[in-house]
Amino acid sequence: MAKSVTHHHNGEHAHEHVHHDLDSLKSFGFWIFLMTDVIIFGCLFAVYVVLRNNTAGGPTADELFKMPGVIAETFILLTSSFTSGLAVLAMHAGKRNQLIGWLAVTFLLGASFIYLEVAEFIDMVHEGATIATSGFLSGFFTLVGTHGLHVSIGLVWMIGLMLQLRKRGITKVTKRKVEVLSLYWHFLDVVWIFVLTVVYLMGVM
């Protein structure tokens, strides 16, 4: 009898071990994804810097960029990074509704950011500044658009996570997902600070 109990215990232990390995593998996978993202953004920044003065007689950064809108976008995204941090704190405190609430606030801020960015793009296109107008604008739309796309993916991911949390509550799995999403969100924040500096501030200076 004792033997079968030990055997059962070992089986459970092995199962837990495999589960743990899968978890660390998923986290590792996310870090690899983040590293490739860093490389992609690095390349896009490099291309932008090379092309930024190639305006082909078209509109320049100084003429196009409306800084109040960009400052608003920055403020919104920085605030959303802060609220995603509050979501993680609520999660560690075991407060599911608070966690979902802060994720919802983060989502609304992220959606406002995208709304402003799309409005900015539409304005530019109306002014005749499209991705095909010049090397500078190709670099601009590709870099800023890629960041915007990442934010949009984060928003879809956030909705899925909120639904999962509502259904399952705070489990080991949802905990990992919230932490990974929060990391991803902070990463996009850091990238945006570079966009702000390299694209917008250097553009209007």
| 176 token code pair | 């990992």
State how far the Cα of 193 lies from the Cα of 171, in Å rounded to an integer: 33
pLDDT higher than threshold 80 for residue 15: no
What is the band of 7 on the pLDDT scale with cuts at 50, 70, 90? Answer: low
What is the band of 13 on the pLDDT scale with cuts at 50, 70, 90? Answer: low
pLDDT higher than threshold 90 for residue 2: no
pLDDT at 21: 75
Domains of the chain plus CATH, in order, are 2-204 (1.20.120.80)
How many Cα atoms sit within 13 Å of 22 on the Cβ side? 8
pLDDT digits (tens, 9 = 90+) for 23-50: 778 778 899 999 999 999 999 999 999 9
What is the Cα 14 distance to its own chain's centre? 35
Tell me the average pLDDT across 62-81. Answer: 97
pLDDT higher than threshold 60 for residue 196: yes
Contacts of 38 (CB under 8 A, 6+ apart): none
pLDDT at 16: 62
pLDDT at 23: 73
Residue 106 or residue 17, greater confidence: 106
State how far the Cα of 131 lies from the Cα of 194, in Å rounded to an integer: 21
pLDDT at 1: 53
What is the band of 179 on the pLDDT scale with cuts at 50, 70, 90? Answer: very high
pLDDT at 25: 80
